[in-house]
Chains A and B, each alone.
Chain A
């Protein structure tokens, strides 16, 4: 016990976490500007007339257009504040709240990496990241400290490591390893690239990437922690993320992960780099070497925080059937790039009194992005069915059945019905219980 607490409370250079804070702030700033200028704020949070909610968060509603845009501009500004270490604590709390609110508006926009941003910003609330290289030191909001307890660095490393490690665990699946799917489909779409293009028509390349990706994800946190493999690990990180950025349309997250990994570097390294950028005066101003008192409450809270993250990826075991097919317990589990699904879906509304039926095309109510996402995910299909039910309900038609005919192919498999087309979805409950109306996936 004392050995553990000795490690946790070992004083290390505060440059390390300051370095991370600066990168994180800049990334946020760029990411938010990118979101605004790509028109995504409008596409995702203004244009839709219906939003898919997270179970338990149905009360989260989108704000009017001007307010949503203001929040994105505010987050851009907060990004700069965080990088500068200006009003750090309030900035990071605000960022966590706003960003998480935005992510909770519509399930459609769920991405593992946005979830990571929420987790990271929550974690950062409890870390003394403004101990050094921060405006807060100059204006007297927080005292400048040359050293911080090691647990603050460990927490950040753990958070990044969790993503890779559980990402690796989730790749230990039949489709990924034995069929090399969906990489076979995705890589062959790159066969038009110059020079390396023809490689992607080769089957062994898909297997190389699948197995390589799995092993990379599983072992990279350990390679990065261990001093003698750290450089090799970082080179692998760069190669891996450059490849993913090149081959898949996954935006800026390869770069985000690459930058985050720098927290694994020795703390002296961060100090060396930062001291080059900042005037010596800033560094040599009288430091306080006193220990930061860490409340055991915070350590306890963070332990629970990480324990939950270790359990979440395995909750799918509580559900019958193939995880990739049913997607029950799929989100918040670091299931990254495991699925290529195509679907065709139509809803049928039936008036039980007259037996009359009408086809509902989701196109009329959903944006393209929403429609594509919904058509392969049973819980979203159910939400949309309830939306249809409620529309009729408002018109005074209270006896409506809603059924869905949904053909899906998973990872190059044959097209088949995803859900039982005879089940009245209007009657089915949302929630975490097993959805028995999802069909079984037999190979």
Chain B
């Protein structure tokens, strides 16, 4: 019975498969080759990743690590001898480190993400000041400078934002800051130790990221360059995912929240304490630096200013357009607009959200338009699937 059935079944199977093949091949031959898929395959993706990795990411981490070193040394000098002069130097070093970090914030993937270094350095720009004060004044806690990793300190009371809170006072100024450290009390000495601990923690995390990327260390750069597909776990997938998520974050958290656009109250109270760098008051400069880093990755502009292969090059060979304009041109245009709009402010963001709310709203809308270009048009052209949900079918 079974043997009688097997023979025709095999023949039919072969026929069916052959038929399917024939139909499919015919149908694909009738159509001209899909230019985009071929262009994507022919594009020098490893070259683009080499450029972005070697000329943007590693130099950015190198710069941040240097600033983190200087920050740590300045903190050592200040804690050994807290004076107006050493405080001034330390504040200057903090600003340098902060801006250097603003160029690295985008790269929240790979070892920096996996090892938690990014979150250790800055999980959020909003500071939990009450919790910081509680932690400092908890007694008796002998703080030596390595207490932070040892005690696995909460992320919202460590990193560069916590350090900012301890170094800047927007209301009372440096005199008050300094007096907190020079009181010669248990509290002031704990505060000094806490400060040094924070600086050392940042310094440790910075070195850990750089080592993980460096060819002489973990050599993640090699992994980064060789994962040149467009799947979710490819480097292009990571970068695109980060660019989109980061542009979304800047728009919502760094501009939208201070503006009060998203508090669902319809009374729109601006939130001046929601701005980034609330204590040192450099929100616009931080945002500009963030956008600059997106810009550099998108256009493949190295930290030395030399333009190499970037996403614009890839999108151009894919002939991605928005309306009649090249997508890369549209992104460039929107980046320029945002820069012009930020530069037009005469007051810091925390003032502008009340005094020039309509101007900030304009900036918010531009940042939204940029986001749509990146999240919808760029992602679409690259054919990257950003979110595959784990479920049971379709």
Instruction: Report yes or no: B380 in contact with A232, Cβ–Cβ below 8 A.
Output: no
- Report Cα–Cα, A185/B150, bound state, in Å: 47
Residues of A within 8 A of B261 (CB): 358-359
- Segment at the B interface, from A53-61, A151-159, A202-210: A202-210
Q: Which of B248-271 contact A (CB under 8 A)?
A: 252, 256, 260-268
B384 to chain A: which residues have CB within 8 Å? Answer: 189
**B372 sits at the interface (CB 8 A):** yes
Q: A111-B393, A251-B393 are in contact. Are A342 and B386 (CB under 8 A)?
A: yes
Q: Is B230 an interface residue (CB 8 A)?
A: yes
Q: Considering the complex, give the chain B residue whose CB is closest to the CB of A235.
A: B13
In the complex, what residues of A have CB within 8 A of residue B216's CB?
A: none
Q: List, in ascending order, chain A residues with CB within 8 A of B380's CB.
A: 342, 409, 412-415
Say yes or no for B16: interface residue by CB 8 A criterion.
Answer: yes
A126-134, A277-285, A299-307, A344-352: which lies at the B interface? A344-352
Q: How far is the CB of A235 from chain B (nearest CB, A)?
A: 6
A358 touches B392 (CB 8 A): no
Q: Is B23 in contact with A215, judged by CB distance below 8 angstroms?
A: yes
Please state if A216 and B20 are interface contacts (CB–CB under 8 Å). yes
Q: Chain A: interface residue count, which band? A: 35 or more
**Closest approach, in angstroms, between the C-beta of A219 and any C-beta of chain B?**
8
Return the CB mask of A84-102 against B: 1 if under 8 Å, else 0.
0000000000000000000
B390 proximal to A (CB < 8 A): yes
> B residues 1-54 with Cβ under 8 Å of A?
5-6, 8-10, 12-13, 16-17, 19-21, 23-25, 27-29, 31, 33-34, 37-38, 40-41
Compute how far the CA of A337 lies from the CA of B393 in the bound complex, rounded to whole angstroms: 9
Given the contacts A188-B37, A344-B375, A409-B380, A178 and B31 also touching, CB distance less than 8 Å: yes
| Residues of chain A from 109 to 123 with CB closer than 8 A to chain B in the complex | 111-114
CB proximity to A under 8 Å, residues B220-248: 227, 229-234
Give B390's nearest chain A residue, CB to CB: A249
In the bound complex, residues from chain B placing their C-beta under 8 Å from that of A111 are: 391-394
A397-B393 contact in complex given A212-B24, A342-B375, C-beta closer than 8 Å: no
User: With the chains together, A212 CA to B233 CA distance in Å?
Assistant: 29
In this assembly, does A223 line the interface, its C-beta being within 8 Å of a C-beta of chain B? yes
* CB of A192 closer than 8 Å to a CB of B: yes
Contact indicator B393/A113 (Cβ below 8 Å): yes
Nearest B residue to A257 via CB reads B393
Interface residues of B in 357-394 (CB under 8 A from A): 368, 371-372, 375-377, 379-380, 383-394
The reply to whether A342 and B229 contact each other, CB–CB distance below 8 Å, is no
Contact residue among A188, A215, A343 (Cβ-Cβ distance under 8 Å from B383) = A188
Would you give the shortest CB distance from A170 to chain B, in whole angstroms?
Answer: 11
Q: Please state if A407 and B376 are interface contacts (CB–CB under 8 Å).
A: yes
Name the residue on A nearest B6 (C-beta): A231
Q: Is A6 an interface residue (CB 8 A)?
A: no
Q: Are B230 and A191 in contact (CB under 8 A)?
A: yes
Task: Report yes or no: A349 in contact with B266, Cβ–Cβ below 8 A.
Answer: yes
Contacting residues of chain A (344-366) with chain B, CB-CB under 8 angstroms: 344, 346, 349, 351, 354, 356-361, 364
- With A201-B41, A228-B8 in contact, is A192–B231 under 8 Å at CB? yes
Query: With A203-B33, A204-B25, A249-B388 in contact, do A236 and B268 touch (Cβ < 8 Å)?
Result: no
- The answer to whether A185 and B20 touch across the interface, beta carbons within 8 angstroms, is no
Residues in B whose Cβ lies below 8 Å from that of A391: 264
Are the CB atoms of B375 and A192 closer together than 8 Å?
Answer: no
Which of B37, B229, B263, B266 has the most chain A CB atoms inside 10 A of its CB?
A: B266
Given contacts A177-B27, A250-B393, A397-B266, contact A228 B37 (CB under 8 A): no
Contact assessment for A185 and B383 in the assembled complex, using a CB-CB cutoff below 8 Å: yes
A207 and B385 contacting across the interface, CB-CB below 8 Å: no
Cβ–Cβ < 8 Å partners of A250 in chain B = 391-394
Q: Decide if A358 touches B268 in the complex (CB within 8 Å).
A: yes
User: What's the Cα separation between A207 and B230 when bound, in Å?
Assistant: 20
B383 CB contacts on chain A under 8 angstroms: 184-185, 188-189, 412
Q: With CB as the reference atom, state the residue of chain B lying closest to A44.
A: B391
Q: Is A8 an interface residue (CB 8 A)?
A: no
- Identify A356's interface contact among B6, B252, B268, CB under 8 A: B268
Task: Report chain B residues within 8 Å CB of A409.
Answer: 376-377, 380
Residues of A with C-beta under 8 A to B29:
204
A211 at the interface (CB under 8 A from B): yes
Residues of B within 8 A of A316 (CB): none
Residues of A contacting B377 in the complex (Cβ-Cβ under 8 angstroms): 409, 414-415
Smallest beta-carbon distance A160→chain B, Å: 15
Nearest-neighbor residue (CB-CB) of A110 within chain B: B394
Interface string of B264-300 (1 = CB under 8 A from A): 1111100000000000000000000000000000000
Q: Of all chain A residues, which has the CB nearest B5?
A: A231
A157 CA to B36 CA, complexed, in Å: 43
A229 to B9, CA, bound (A): 6
Flag B122-160 by CB within 8 Å of A: 1 or 0 each.
000000000000000000000000000000000000000
**Residue A252 interfacial (CB < 8 Å):** yes
Q: What chain B residues lie within 8 Å of A400 (beta carbons)?
A: 266
Chain A residue with Cβ nearest B374: A344
Do the beta carbons of B16 and A236 come within 8 Å of each other?
A: yes
Cross-chain contact of B24 among A178, A207, A397 (Cβ < 8 A):
A207
Given contacts A409-B376, A415-B372, contact A232 B16 (CB under 8 A): yes
- From 131 to 190 in chain A, residues with beta carbon under 8 angstroms from any chain B beta carbon are 177-178, 180, 184-186, 188-190
Set of chain A residues within 8 Å of B386, measured between Cβ atoms: 342
> In this complex, what residue of A is CB-closest to B41?
A201
Check B375 against A249 for contact (C-beta < 8 Å).
no
| Cα distance, A407 to B256, chains bound together (Å) | 19
Interface check A291, CB cutoff 8 A:
no
Instruction: Please determine whether A407 and B372 come into contact, CB atoms closer than 8 angstroms.
Output: yes
CB contacts (< 8 Å) of A342 on chain B: these are 375-376, 379-380, 386
| Minimum Cβ distance to chain A for residue B389 (Å) | 6
Complex: chain A residue closest to B381, CB-CB = A412
Taking the closest CB of chain B, its distance from the CB of A370, in whole angstroms, is 11
Q: Which residues of A are in contact with B by a Cβ distance under 8 Å? A: 31, 38, 111-114, 177-178, 180, 184-186, 188-192, 201, 203-204, 207-212, 215-216, 223, 227-232, 235-236, 248-253, 336-337, 340, 342-344, 346, 349, 351, 354, 356-361, 364, 368-369, 372, 391-392, 397, 400, 407-409, 412-415
A-B pairs with beta carbons under 8 Å apart, 17 shown: A111-B391, A111-B394, A113-B392, A184-B383, A185-B385, A191-B230, A201-B37, A207-B27, A210-B24, A230-B9, A340-B385, A343-B376, A344-B375, A358-B262, A368-B387, A391-B264, A407-B372
Closest 6 CB pairs of A and B: A415-B376, A232-B13, A251-B392, A207-B28, A231-B9, A208-B24
A232-B16, A253-B393, A412-B380 given; 11 more Cβ-contact pairs under 8 Å: A185-B383, A188-B40, A189-B232, A191-B231, A204-B28, A207-B25, A215-B20, A252-B392, A346-B368, A358-B260, A407-B376
